[in-house]
Amino acid sequence: MIVIPTTFLWQSFDHPGDTMILGIKLGSNFVTKIDKFLSSWKSAEDPARGEYSFVIDTHGYPQLLLKRGNITLFRAGPWNGIKFIANPSPIPISDEFVFNSKEVYFQFGNQTSVLSRLTLSPLGLPQSFTWNDRTNDWVITDVGQFDQCENYAFCGPNTRCEMSRSPICACLDGFIPKSLADWNFSDWSDGCIRRTPLECSDKVGFLKYTGMKFPDTSSSWYDKSISLKECQGLCLKNCSCTAYANLDIRQGGSGCLIWFGDLIDTRRSTGDGQDLFVRMNASELGVPTKKRTFSKKLAGIVSSAIVAGIGMLMLGIIISMRKWNLRKKNHCEEREEDMELPIFDMSTIAHATDAFSNSNKLGEGGFGPVYKGILIGGQQIAVKRLSKSSGQGLDEFKNEVMLIAKLQHRSLVKLLGCCIHEDERMLIYEYMPNKSLDSFIFDQTGRKLLDWSQRINIIGGIARGLLYLHQDSRLRIIHRDIKASNILLDDELNPKISDFGLARMFGGDQTEAKTSRIVGTYGYMSPEYASNGYFSVKSDAFSFGVLVLEIVSGKKNRGFRHLDPNLNLLGHAWMLWIKGTPFELIDEFLIESCNLSEVLRCIHVALLCVQQRPEDRPNMSAVVLILGSEIPLPQPKQPGFFMGENPHEHSTSSNRHVTYSGEEVSLISLDPR
């Protein structure tokens, strides 16, 4: 005889891991204090607890949440008597939802004819699996499809999100954007505020929204027994009440759900939404608070006021349009030709990259890791994923999207779109099969694969790309991070400038700017930028000069090793130049393939670009001209960040120093080796 114990020390169904099957409950037991939730694996190969979880949140009225750590990513909403309001497709519509004083949970219904399970992937995507008797294997039957409106609080407080609208975010009626400037740039995170403060009096009413996903219920109050009319009365009596609705949609509706404060994460549903009543001042509803009898005199006054109001409105519209047009002109010339950047959803990118598997990882930079992907149509892409620990954040992400989406040149990498999934931010580029330039010129094997004709082509392509940014594009762009790892190579080894996260846009007549936040890469920074924050087209020219010396020599400026430990690559090139032996700089693998006059000219141009004073450096139009001609060139002056003893100076004192802006500064603090 089998004896079934009445008490358990531990049972697996209380700790479901990443998978939910028939009989498992998700929720909380208020008596035993046990919380049951799904938690993802750390990776496809590591079953340790990952970042993501599916939980029943019991603050306010219970609702189903998808979270990453403590951050809410998606909210399925509260239970409406039949289902969770915003039910993502892989989650089964359960007929088993229990909420009482002892516990709250939901579980699969009695669907015994089909063996299925729900799994939370390491990327936080719910996936539905069904057992296939023919193949004796689990088959994915559905994957969570979260559009932008499903991203928690995507539009900010007091808004509604509608995928059929453009833009998809809109303030609730009677509300205005909290930050109009951010709103106009499609940054809706601050949401909206009331046009007029909500009155605590009888001069209020309610605006009905139909087909809505309810706002976040974590700060709500509920009563399962009262009617909708009683619910309205309770809301009117409480000055903090901002909205109300029915709790249960069955049998014509019952129960009361009341919100306090801001209404967060509200969207127009695709067909399963409910009625939401938002509290408004009567003046915002456009109805009088008391019955009035209007005389002909009052009617005349009103008519005059209407005419005057229309006139003022027209004047306001004209003024606003003039201001808007001026702002558009100042921000971006010829804005009418703006490009609309495609938005990729998370599931598409996850599928394309095989859930960001390590086998698809192309590399990692300051922004974060880059993955290779293949879209369903077969197009190859590169996905740059913002790292949480990256020094670059939302501002740099927006900056890159806004700038590169407007730039089109054969020497610039093409941005195909972006993906924003809560705090996940990704840029989708055309795929460059030969990766970045540094993987060739700084690699013992890769250096052998680039002969001189290919290297001079790369140098010329980078120069033409910078000329386009500085002069020929509608926007004057200073890149501020030109370096070997930001030059990508296509299948024919043609260069394409990438990574515009640190770039800055200049006005038509602007030539220089200053920043207190020094960003970029030591070894490529110009002296005036690294010391005082000044940047211009000449600071990009300095970075280009460093890069040319690296391409010619196959050695890095930062971390350069030489018999004289006080010399960096710039100092080494300068010493060879003034000694009349610049050919000693050439990469040993180029000796047989190079054109010595072309190499000498490239070294000459590079030394001109890395001169100490910005005004001594050529601009990129001059560089492109010089590289394509044989015009005589001036002798270069000592480079910025030069270290070493100048043999032209005969002095008993040591000249081992770095000089910029009239000061001497140890290079160790600027360019550690």
Write the DSSP assignment of 590-629 as a string of letters. GTTT--HHHHHHHHHHHHHHTBSSGGGSPPHHHHHHHHTS
What pLDDT sits at residue 25? 82
Alpha carbon dihedral 406, 334, 394, 468, in 10-degree steps, equals 40
Question: Using CA atoms, how far apart are residues 161 and 144, in angstroms rounded to an integer?
Answer: 19
Beta strand 424-430 pairing with 415-421: antiparallel
Q: In 10 A of CB 335, how many CB atoms?
A: 13
Is 671 marked active-site? no
Alpha carbon dihedral 22, 24, 25, 29, in 10-degree steps, equals 150
Question: Using CA atoms, how far apart are residues 377 and 488, in angstroms rounded to an integer?
Answer: 24
- What is the average per-residue pLDDT within 416-423? 81
Catalytic residue among 57, 265, 438, 481: 481
Q: In 10 A of CB 634, how many CB atoms?
A: 9
Where are the strands (E) in 537-594, listed by range? none
Across 14-18, 192-196, 247-251, least confident range? 14-18
| Best CA proximity match to 154, nearest among 402, 321, 330, 343 | 343
Are residues 125 and 44 in contact, defined by beta-carbon separation less than 8 angstroms? no
User: What is the third-level CATH fold of 12-146?
Assistant: Agglutinin, subunit A (2.90.10)
Question: Using CA atoms, how far apart are residues 239 and 29, in angstroms rounded to an integer?
Answer: 34
Q: 87 falls in which pLDDT band (50, 70, 90)? A: low
Q: 500 falls in which pLDDT band (50, 70, 90)? A: confident
Model confidence at 381: pLDDT above 50: yes
Model confidence at 450: pLDDT above 90: yes
Model confidence at 607: pLDDT above 90: yes
| Best CA proximity match to 242, nearest among 189, 199, 203 | 199
Give the side-chain half-sphere CA count within 13 A for 486: 24
List CB contacts of 590: < 8 A, sequence separation 6 or more: 451, 452, 455, 552, 554, 599
pTM of the entire predicted model: 0.49
Q: Could you read off the pLDDT of 134-165 as tens digits, one per residue? A: 888 887 776 666 677 888 898 999 999 988 88
Q: 656 falls in which pLDDT band (50, 70, 90)? A: very low
What pLDDT sits at residue 111? 53
Residue with the bigger pLDDT between 627 and 101: it is: 627
Are residues 436 and 489 in contact, defined by beta-carbon separation less than 8 angstroms? yes
- C-alpha radius of gyration, the chain, whole number: 32
CATH of 346-430, one of 3.40.630.30, 3.40.50.300, 3.30.200.20, 3.40.640.10: 3.30.200.20
Mean residue pLDDT of the chain comes to 79
Per-domain boundaries in the chain: 12-146, 163-285, 298-331, 346-430, 438-669
Residue with the bigger pLDDT between 308 and 281: it is: 281
Question: Using CA atoms, how far apart are residues 476 and 538, in angstroms rounded to an integer?
Answer: 13
Model confidence at 645: pLDDT above 60: no
Question: Using CA atoms, how far apart are residues 563 and 78, in angstroms rounded to an integer?
Answer: 71
Model confidence at 318: pLDDT above 80: no
Question: Using CA atoms, how far apart are residues 573 and 18, in angstroms rounded to an integer?
Answer: 58
φ, ψ of residue 106 in degrees (nearest 5):
-135, 155
| Best CA proximity match to 541, nearest among 471, 473, 597, 610 | 610
Helix (H) or strand (E) holding 330: helix 296-331
CATH of span 438-669: 1.10.510.10
Q: Are 12-146 and 346-430 the same fold in CATH? A: no
What pLDDT sits at residue 177? 92
What pLDDT sits at residue 362? 87
Question: Using CA atoms, how far apart are residues 28 and 42, in angstroms rounded to an integer?
Answer: 24
In terms of phi and psi (left: phi > 0; alpha: psi -120 to 50; beta: otherwise), the region of 244 is: beta
List CB contacts of 659: < 8 A, sequence separation 6 or more: 612, 638, 640, 642
